[in-house]
Structure 1
Amino acid sequence: MKQLPKKIMSSSKFINYPSRRSTVYSTKGIVSSTQPLANASAIKILEKGGNCVDGAIAASASLIVTEPGSTGIGGDCFALYYKLKDKSDPTSGQVLGLNGSGRAAANVTPQDVWNEHNDGKPMKRIPYTSVFSVTVPGAVAGWYDAYEKWGSGNVTFEEILEPAIKLAEEGFAVSEIASNMWRRCVPKITKQNPDVKNNPFVLDGNRGPEEGEFVKNVPVANCLKIIGKEGKKAFYEGPIAEAIVKTTSVNRNHKLTTDDLKQHTSTIVEPIKLNFQEHNVWEIPPNGHGLVALLALGIIQELHNSGKINLYELKHNSVEYLHLLIEACKLGFYDSDEYVTDPHFRDIPIEALLSPDYLKTRSELIHFDKIIDGETMKHGVPDPKFKSDTVYLTVSDSSGEVCSFINSVYEGFGSGILVEEYGFCLQSRGCNFNLSPGLPNCLEGGRRPYHTIIPGMITNPDGSLYAGFGNMGGFAQPVCHVQHVLNLTVFGMTPQQSIDSPRFVLNSNNVNETDRGRGADGPVRTPITVVQLEEGIDEEVVENLEKLGHTVQLIKGFGREVFGRAQIIKNVSKNGQLIYAGGSDPRGDGAAVALV
């Protein structure tokens, strides 16, 4: 493996890999996303007087046009919003959360899936291209509810969607990485929609767009026009809702109904947090799996507190450092497989799971000379006394507020099932239910599935904003959140340095016979967890991780998409002057763009 040149920084203990981009600074605001045209859309809205929430919705809407393999109005969204109670006091902020994920059809059961795919015999997971992987799309309601509750009031919802409508209706040139992802998904899209004659995602009947090729999606433009004028109701009632049901339950065997769509609601949630090295790290509560990141960070914090490690003496991406993070994240996933589900269906002991006593107990399971035994490891049981393919973007504005926003259809183009009349594919979020009746997160009518998309936020000890951040990429997300939190708070990296540094993620070994049938389709569903390392991590580190017992894969080239794509905006204000620092992932097509 060719190693990148490196040098040791005198100011912090990390290897400074050559930066692919420079950190962007601004006193007015920054937009950071995976597509340049989405950034431009958000900037337009900020320039009209919109705030970071308005800008985030505009960027998200444009991403459904310019990067449809990752996101769409057939998917879900989540948001964290750092809101100032007093615009003159940067320490007066509060972190608010929105869960814009959809629910399973009210009348669906595991037996429906078994009948469809296995002659009525039990199976553990929903296939990724099954019509039963489709849940109610929550994104449009999430956009509208965020706009109504947190928007500036200076721009209308219709104005916010206008840039996306223009891109879809008048056309745009496809970026390099979006083109690569798109082309690889064409066989899936054509197989899923054999009778569709006018598929906006398939050119000339058999291919996806090349880099720089000009494309349009007039049906989705018309859909967005209706939503812009009439609001979320237009999506969940009337012709659009009827087209979704026709696609899934008339033309296929789903049990999704117009009532399922009509009854959908977003949920304003209280974000969960963990104090890590004097900073509060914020995540969306379950059914999202931000809990994994907080559990892992809490375990690492307890090891530091006990003196078993010293975070400030560990070398970044050394074997000791990576082994620690890998094992802590694995423990987080074991607990998430038991506890992450729809909280309306089961009480989730968040306070107990994040208590120092519980985290200390879990930290004692980590050995520095060997890996956790996947054959015997299970979730922990906290003290009952405490009972209680995706796009990520972040936008800051001139008031000192930040919106951390994520929107997804899951795997490339979601289920691949196209709502032909309106030009969008339906998500496959139902794949993260299991089909083990009686277990948490089993498919059940009206339940929200375990969800992988998670926006992140960090605040300072005084309550002021530290950073809005996120890292799309399915089950990679909490693992990457942990790495970015440590990069920023312990190693003192800039946003771009954190994003540029090589990452690791976790995956299962995809042996269905050893699937435990619990939780979601994540990295600990089988006894062997695969550690995927990005090119740039030292060869000797790779070898030593294998000696500890880790199953390791080295990932290069376009395969690096498994590490997701991060965006970070950090508050670096000095002497009373608001200053943002922004970074954007070179693994995507986008950038961090400053508002002038």
Structure 2
Amino acid sequence: MRDFHDPKRSPIYAANGALATSHPLATQAGLDVLKRGGNAVDAAVTAAAVLAVVEPSMTAIGGDGFALIHQPGKPLYGLNSSGRAAAALSTEMLVGQGWSEMDDLSPHAVTVPGVVKSWESLLASHGTMGLEEALKPAIEAAEAGFVVYPRVWSDWQECVAKLTSQGAGGQHYLVDGRAPRMGTIHKLPALAATLKVIAKEGAKGFYEGAVAADIVAELKQRGGVMTEEDLAGVSADPCTPVTAGYRGIELAELPPNGTGIIAQVILNLLERFELKGLEPHGAERLHLEMEAARIGYAIRDAHIGDPTTMGVAAEALIDKAWAKGLAATIDPAKRNEDLPSTDPNFTSDTIYLSCVDRDGMAVSLINSIFKGFGSGIVTEKTGIILQNRGAGFRVKPGHPNTIEGGKRPLHTIIPAMAMQGDKPRYCFGVMGGQYQPTGHAHVITNMVDFGMDPQEALDSARLFWRPDGTIELEPTLGQEVYDGLKAKGHPVDWTKVPHGGGQIIEIDHDAGVLIAGSDPRKDGCAMGY
């Protein structure tokens, strides 16, 4: 329980249903669906669609989506609706043009958007309503306008140069060449019209016809090679989640091309240490977290990509015996300069929302356009922000994640669910690009090892590294932790931007109560009834 002298939020307690998102308007829209008798999937898709309007630097209908669903009495259900590279792309082609790495502002970084297909698929398989009803609040927000919230504004104004340089983005998402002012109302009429087409025609209205033609034309004028056939070939694919145990729970993540299994790798390593006796916000605990994460991400970079081209099975990467050997290379006293081999055969990275309804259906859903406003490319007629998920590819012949036409890139967005027996205990996710697997491990250890409730687990201060390897601490960790990590050999600095966001719903099956939290690093909230 939190210290009531400390000005933080309590978790939300609810008996009938709960929803946690990164924006109050989305939470309200989803909760309205639950109260009207809709189920958790109906509410989740409704809320996600609102987020695609009111939090445009983080998500859009030009992005991707993943989901995990628990329905009482049925196996855990996973859905991968991440888009593929245009068929005409190849590593050979880009190398021939002088590329050595992906350009996240290039039209070649735009993969087929999967999110609209995911919404339609989820509603068809597990929902009770169709897209027409689910999109109503989003259409209203885009057409009538929405108030720009503080964190949304902060992210928005950081992307002004990108939107300006990329063309039509300024037309739809800037006002007199600037981000809309915080506390003002912004309207998106072109996006509203596009959402109406999708509401009327279903996902087909996005992936075929005038909307698809507008996407292709926008990319083509920049040298892109995506075709209408690429868009029409989109798929939302059911998949079997991968589970790994951690101190009495089973953490379920989606398999690659997502990086959820890296959270499991990190927890496998941390399980070898007695965290419970450490100070939860102390240098000793956080050092172990960073060392385990560094090993996990080295494994990610070596192996994760489209599963059809990976040279190693996901199950091998989360093998407990292999983890035992890797954990032995972690020194609690100092940073390891020489990471161990990341080949298991050698020794034997957004919006996220969580929703649970009165019948026990739990939905862990994540949508994203990758970097702020994605590629920055926005369709002129239809107002669609296009993601730059292709930036997750490599341009490296022979690598499992090298770019090829029709492949899915390594993906940072990862929904999760922690099970106890055949029931979910925590329905959760942590946003923040590359941070996400570390974030999953951080909040799980907060709750399992340190007894935090969902809100406390999300409030807890974080750290993560930047590309040069320097670990950036959130200022609330304090000078003592900064100095402690530095003494262990870590290059350290203070972060200027908080690490990610997140939502958690804990399900207390004995009490019949839901306990929900929403990350204070965003504008959102948890609500229940």
Question: TM above 0.5, one fold?
Answer: yes
SS of equivalent residue, structure 2 residue 135? helix
CA contact (8 A) 2:322 2:347 kept: no
How far 1:361 sits from its partner (Å)? 1.4
Q: Which residue identity lines up with residue 190 of structure 1 in the other structure?
A: T
Q: Which residue identity lines up with residue 166 of structure 2 in the other structure?
A: Q
CA contact (8 A) 2:269 2:324 kept: yes
Structure 2 partner of 1:37: 25
Structure 2 partner of 1:504: 463
Cα-to-partner distance string for 1:175-221 (whole Å, 9 max, x where unaligned): 1110111122111101011xx497210112x1111111011111111
Structure 1 partner of 2:444: 485
Question: Please, which of 514, 520, 525 is the counterpart of residue 586 of structure 1?
Answer: 520
Structure 2 partner of 1:548: 488
Structure 1's 25 and 187: CA in aligned 2 closer, same or farther, altered over 3 A?
A: same
Structure 1 partner of 2:377: 417
**Aligned pairs for 1:84-483 within 5 A:** 84-85=72-73, 94-113=75-94, 120-123=97-100, 125-151=101-127, 153=128, 155-193=129-167, 196=168, 199-204=171-176, 206-249=177-220, 251-301=221-271, 303=272, 309-373=273-337, 377-382=340-345, 390-460=350-420, 462-483=421-442
CA contact (8 A) 2:164 2:170 kept: no
Q: Which residue identity lines up with residue 431 of structure 2 in the other structure?
A: M
Identity of aligned residues (%): 36
How far 1:411 sits from its partner (Å)? 0.7
Question: Please, which of 516, 536, 546 is the counterpart of residue 476 of structure 2?
Answer: 536
Q: Which residue identity lines up with residue 210 of structure 1 in the other structure?
A: R
SS of equivalent residue, structure 2 residue 158? helix
Structure 1's 148 and 300: CA in aligned 2 closer, same or farther, altered over 3 A?
A: same
Structure-1-length-normalised TM-score: 0.86
Aligned Cα RMSD in Å? 1.9
CA distance in 2 between counterparts of 1:378 and 1:344 reads 23
CA distance in 2 between counterparts of 1:377 and 1:530 reads 20
How far 1:163 sits from its partner (Å)? 0.6
Q: Which residue identity lines up with residue 217 of structure 2 in the other structure?
A: K
Q: Which residue identity lines up with residue 434 of structure 1 in the other structure?
A: R
Question: Please, which of 19, 44, 47 is the counterpart of residue 56 of structure 1?
Answer: 44
Structure 1's 491 and 57: CA in aligned 2 closer, same or farther, altered over 3 A?
A: same
CA distance in 1 between counterparts of 2:317 and 2:503 reads 28
CA contact (8 A) 2:169 2:376 kept: no
How far 1:344 sits from its partner (Å)? 2.1
Question: Please, which of 552, 565, 569 is the counterpart of residue 505 of structure 2?
Answer: 569
CA distance in 2 between counterparts of 1:337 and 1:507 reads 15
Cα-to-partner distance string for 1:248-297 (whole Å, 9 max, x where unaligned): 12x11111111111111111011111100010011111000011100010
CA distance in 1 between counterparts of 2:160 and 2:76 reads 40
CA distance in 2 between counterparts of 1:503 and 1:278 reads 24
How far 1:312 sits from its partner (Å)? 2.0
How far 1:464 sits from its partner (Å)? 1.6
Q: Which residue identity lines up with residue 72 of structure 1 in the other structure?
A: A
Cα-to-partner distance string for 1:226-253 (whole Å, 9 max, x where unaligned): 111211111111111111110112x111
Name stretches of at least 5 consecutive residues in structure 1 with no aligned partner: 1-8, 86-92, 304-308, 510-528
- When structure 1 is superposed on structure 2, of 360-369 and 131-140 the one drifting more is 360-369
Structure 1's 497 and 197: CA in aligned 2 closer, same or farther, altered over 3 A?
A: closer
Q: Which residue identity lines up with residue 476 of structure 1 in the other structure?
A: Y
Structure-2-length-normalised TM-score: 0.96
CA distance in 2 between counterparts of 1:474 and 1:197 reads 22
How far 1:29 sits from its partner (Å)? 0.9
CA contact (8 A) 1:169 1:221 kept: yes
Q: Which residue identity lines up with residue 454 of structure 1 in the other structure?
A: I
Cα-to-partner distance string for 1:57-76 (whole Å, 9 max, x where unaligned): 11110001100000001100
Cα-to-partner distance string for 1:21-43 (whole Å, 9 max, x where unaligned): 11100001111111111111111
Q: Which residue identity lines up with residue 321 of structure 2 in the other structure?
A: D
Cα-to-partner distance string for 1:481-523 (whole Å, 9 max, x where unaligned): 00100011111111111111111123321xxxxxxxxxxxxxx
SS of equivalent residue, structure 1 residue 84? coil
CA distance in 1 between counterparts of 2:169 and 2:262 reads 43
CA contact (8 A) 1:17 1:501 kept: no
SS of equivalent residue, structure 2 residue 235? coil
Question: Please, which of 68, 92, 95 is the counterpart of residue 80 of structure 1?
Answer: 68
SS of equivalent residue, structure 2 residue 470? strand
- When structure 1 is superposed on structure 2, of 433-442 and 345-354 the one drifting more is 345-354
- When structure 1 is superposed on structure 2, of 389-398 and 99-108 the one drifting more is 389-398
Aligned residues: 529
How far 1:412 sits from its partner (Å)? 0.7
How far 1:157 sits from its partner (Å)? 2.0
SS of equivalent residue, structure 1 residue 331? helix
CA distance in 1 between counterparts of 2:5 and 2:402 reads 43
How far 1:48 sits from its partner (Å)? 2.5
- When structure 1 is superposed on structure 2, of 475-484 and 231-240 the one drifting more is 231-240
Q: Which residue identity lines up with residue 482 of structure 1 in the other structure?
A: A
CA distance in 2 between counterparts of 1:383 and 1:427 reads 37
Cα-to-partner distance string for 1:117-160 (whole Å, 9 max, x where unaligned): xxx3342x212211111110010001111111111x2x232111
SS of equivalent residue, structure 1 residue 425? coil
SS of equivalent residue, structure 1 residue 475? helix
SS of equivalent residue, structure 2 residue 516? strand
CA contact (8 A) 1:284 1:454 kept: yes
SS of equivalent residue, structure 1 residue 422? coil
CA distance in 1 between counterparts of 2:75 and 2:6 reads 36
CA contact (8 A) 2:86 2:111 kept: yes
Q: Which residue identity lines up with residue 104 of structure 1 in the other structure?
A: A
Cα-to-partner distance string for 1:428-483 (whole Å, 9 max, x where unaligned): 111111111111100111100000001111111x3222011111110111111001
CA distance in 2 between counterparts of 1:180 and 1:363 reads 39
SS of equivalent residue, structure 1 residue 199? helix
CA distance in 2 between counterparts of 1:201 and 1:176 reads 16
Structure 1's 146 and 197: CA in aligned 2 closer, same or farther, altered over 3 A?
A: closer
Q: Which residue identity lines up with residue 496 of structure 1 in the other structure?
A: Q
- When structure 1 is superposed on structure 2, of 14-23 and 265-274 the one drifting more is 14-23
- Provide runs of 4+ in structure 1 moved above 6 Å: 14-17
Structure 1's 489 and 202: CA in aligned 2 closer, same or farther, altered over 3 A?
A: same
SS of equivalent residue, structure 2 residue 76? strand
CA distance in 2 between counterparts of 1:169 and 1:15 reads 43
